Structure 1
C-alpha cells in the first residue's frame, strides 16, 4: 500500500531542489579573478592617460611652475602684432595725409580756374563792346567741382582723378574761349587794316613784340599748365589792344558820310557832262543834294585849316587829317567851325547851300591826298563796310 504525502510538502521539495540548482548555476558564472583583472586593467589605463597629459610640453610647464616663460612668449607675440598694426595704421594715416594734400591743391586750382572763367567772360564782354562778333564764342560756365569721397564708387583715389579731369576740362574750355576771342579780334583787326590801307590810311597800332617781361628763372611747377592759360590771356589782351587801336582809326579816318541823311548822289567823281557848258569836264568830288541849311558834319578827325570862299566852290571849309589827307566841303550857305578848331568825326562844321558854281542846294564833298583829288566814294564805301565795328 502506497504511502501518500500531502501535496504541499511534495511541491515544496520539488521547488526547493530546482531553486537550489539555479542558484548554483548563477554563482558559478562570475569569477572573482576575472573581475579583479578587469578592474586592474582599467585603472592602469587611466594612470597612463594621466601621465601622458602631464607630460605635454606647455601643460607640463604650467603644471610644473614654468607658466612664466610661456606667458612671456605669448606677450612677445602680441607685442609684435601690435607693432604690425601700428605700422599699417601709419601707412593709412600717411595715405590719408597725401589725399588731404591733393584735395587742398585741387581746391586751390578750382578757385584759380573759377577766377579765370570770370576773366574770360569779362574779356568776351569787352570784345563784344568793342564791336567784335562774339555770338559764336561759347564762354565757359564757372562752377565749382565738388568732391564727395566715394561718389564715384571707387574710393578717394578715383574721386581725385575725377575732379582732376573736371579741372582739366574747365581749363580746356577757358583756353578754347580765349583762343576764339583772340582769333576774332585778330581777324577783325586785319579786316579794318585792309580797308584803311586800301584808301591809303596806315593807323599806328601797339607793338606787341616790344612787350617787356622778366624775372628770375624758376623750375616749372607741377600740375595743370597754368602758364598756357596766362599766355593765352595775354594774347587776348594784346589782340584786343590792337583791335581797339584799329577801331579808333575808323572813327578818326575821313571815311564817314558828311550828311546824316545822304541817300542820293547827283554827280560822281570823275569825268562828266558839265552842267553849264554841256561839254565833258572833270568832277573832283561827289555831290549830295540836300535842302539849304542842312547841317554838314566832319567826315573824320582833324583840324579846320580853311573856312572861306574859293573860286568855283563858293563857301568852303577844309579839314586837314593825318596821312596827308584833306577833306573839302563846298557850296555852303554858312560856317559853323572856325579855322584852327580841332574837330571829331561827326562834328557840325557848316550848312548846305548853293554858293559858287552850282545849280541848286547840294554839298560838294572832296577828298584830297597830297593836294591831289581822289575818289571820295572809295573812302565812304570803306567807312560803310567798317561801320559794323562801330556798332552802327
Structure 2
C-alpha cells in the first residue's frame, strides 16, 4: 500500500518509487519500429524467390543432365565442339600458310627469272658490242644500262598475288625485249653478210663461210622431260653468234679481195678497160687495165691482201709490181718510177708498194692498174666499184 505524501504548497522532488513485493508488474510503453509480421512476410518472399531460381537452375538441360548422371555425354559434346573449333582454326592457319607458301614460291620463281633476265641482258650487251665492233648498228639492239634491270630486292614489297603477277609480266616483257634485240642483231648481220656475198659473188669471189657451226650438236639420248625445253633465248643467241661469225668472215673477204683503191685519190681515168685507140699507132688496140694520171712519185697502194710475186721490168709495162691474192686474182701496177716492196713480201690492203712514173710504153706519168683472173685480164672497174659499195662495212 503506497503512502501518500502530505500535500503542501510546494511540490516535493520526485522520489523513486519502490517496487512493492508481490504487486503486479506495470506494462511498459512499446517503442516505434518494423512490425514482426512484415518482417516475416518479406523473409518468406525472398526465400520463395530463391527457391524458384534454384528450381529454374536445376531445370536447365545441361545442368540437369550433369545432376542426373549424364556427365560423360555433356563433356563429350563440349569436347567435340572444341575439337571442331580447333579444326577450323587449323584450317584457317593452313590456308594462310599455303598462301604464304605460294607467295614464297612465286617470289623464288621471280628471283630465278630475274637471274635469267640479267644473264640475257649481259648477253645482249656483249653481242651488241661485238656487232658494233664489226660495224653493225641497229637501234633495236641498242643495249640498255645495268640500271634498267633492278634486282628483285629493290622492288616494292610484294603483298598480293596481283603484285606478283604484275612483276612477272614486267619481267616477261623485258625478256621479250631481249629476244627482239637479239633478233634485230641477227637480221642486221645476216642482211649485211648477204650484201657482201652478193657483191663479191658477182666478181667470182666466194669466201669460206662458217656454215658448219649450225651442225655442231650432239649428246647421249635421254627421254624428254616436261618443262625442260632449251629453246628460246639460247637459240636466239646462237643465231646471233652464227650471224656475226658469218659477217666477220664476209667482212674479212672484203679486206682480202683486191677491190680497194690503188691510190688515195682516183680523181680521173685517162684510159678505160677494153678496146681503144692506141696512143702510139692510132689504130684499134685492147687495153687490159685502167690508167690513172698522177704526179710522178705519187704513192701506189696494194689493192688487197696478198703476196708480192713480181718486182721488176716487163715489156710494155715498164717497171711493174705484181701481187697475187688469196682469191687467186692477180693485180698489176705498171709504169712505176720506184719500188717499195720485194718479191715474197706479204702486203695488206693499203700497203705502199711503189711510186707513180712513166716507164715502159707510156706517154706521161700515170698508174696502169690491172686485174687478172687465171692469167686473163678482167675489168678492174668492176672491182673498184665493188670496193666502193662495200667500203662502209670497213668503216671507210
TM-score, normalised to structure 2, is: 0.80
Give the direction of change, closer, same or farther, for the CA distance of 1:348–1:89 in structure 2 (3 Å limit). Answer: same
Q: 2:110 — aligned with what?
A: 106
For 1:325 and 1:41, the matched residues in 2 are separated by 137
| Aligned residue runs from structure 1 range 240-255, under 5 A | 240-255=244-259
For 2:52 and 2:131, the matched residues in 1 are separated by 105
Task: Classify the secondary structure of the residue corresponding to 2:231.
Answer: helix
| Aligned residue runs from structure 1 range 1-392, under 5 A | 51-61=55-65, 70-71=74-75, 73-135=77-139, 137-139=141-143, 142-144=148-150, 146=152, 147-149=155-157, 156-208=160-212, 211-216=215-220, 217=222, 219-220=224-225, 222=227, 227-392=231-396
Following TM superposition, by how much is the alpha carbon of 1:246 offset from its aligned partner in structure 2, in angstroms?
A: 0.3
1:172-225 deviation digits (Å, cap 9, x = unpaired): 1111111110000000000000110111111111123553222343645639x7
Q: 2:7 — aligned with what?
A: none
Task: Classify the secondary structure of the residue corresponding to 1:183.
Answer: helix
Q: 1:26 — aligned with what?
A: none
Give the direction of change, closer, same or farther, for the CA distance of 1:52–1:271 in structure 2 (3 Å limit). Answer: same
Task: Classify the secondary structure of the residue corresponding to 1:359.
Answer: coil
Following TM superposition, by how much is the alpha carbon of 1:391 offset from its aligned partner in structure 2, in angstroms?
A: 0.5
Following TM superposition, by how much is the alpha carbon of 1:127 offset from its aligned partner in structure 2, in angstroms?
A: 1.0
For 1:131 and 1:339, the matched residues in 2 are separated by 34
Q: Which runs of 5+ in 1 are unaligned?
A: 1-39
Contact 1:149 1:156 in 2 (8 A): no
Contact 2:131 2:244 in 1 (8 A): yes
Give the direction of change, closer, same or farther, for the CA distance of 1:102–1:222 in structure 2 (3 Å limit). Answer: farther
1:353-380 deviation digits (Å, cap 9, x = unpaired): 1100111111100001111111000000
Q: Single out whichever of 68-77 and 96-105 deviates more from structure 2.
A: 68-77
Give the direction of change, closer, same or farther, for the CA distance of 1:330–1:320 in structure 2 (3 Å limit). Answer: same
Q: Single out whichever of 127-136 and 228-237 deviates more from structure 2.
A: 127-136
For 1:68 and 1:129, the matched residues in 2 are separated by 89
For 2:172 and 2:227, the matched residues in 1 are separated by 14
Give the direction of change, closer, same or farther, for the CA distance of 1:45–1:136 in structure 2 (3 Å limit). Answer: closer
Q: Which runs of 5+ in 2 are unaligned?
A: 1-43
Following TM superposition, by how much is the alpha carbon of 1:348 offset from its aligned partner in structure 2, in angstroms?
A: 1.3
TM-score, normalised to structure 1, is: 0.81
Give the direction of change, closer, same or farther, for the CA distance of 1:45–1:253 in structure 2 (3 Å limit). Answer: closer
For 1:339 and 1:44, the matched residues in 2 are separated by 142
For 1:181 and 1:262, the matched residues in 2 are separated by 35
Contact 2:140 2:181 in 1 (8 A): no
The number of residue pairs the alignment matches comes to 351
Contact 1:148 1:159 in 2 (8 A): no
For 2:286 and 2:232, the matched residues in 1 are separated by 60
Higher helix share: 1
For 1:132 and 1:265, the matched residues in 2 are separated by 33
Following TM superposition, by how much is the alpha carbon of 1:67 offset from its aligned partner in structure 2, in angstroms?
A: 6.2
Contact 2:186 2:240 in 1 (8 A): yes
Task: Classify the secondary structure of the residue corresponding to 1:227.
Answer: coil
Q: Single out whichever of 113-122 and 252-261 deviates more from structure 2.
A: 113-122
For 1:382 and 1:218, the matched residues in 2 are separated by 52
Q: Calculate the aligned-residue CA RMSD, in Å.
A: 2.9
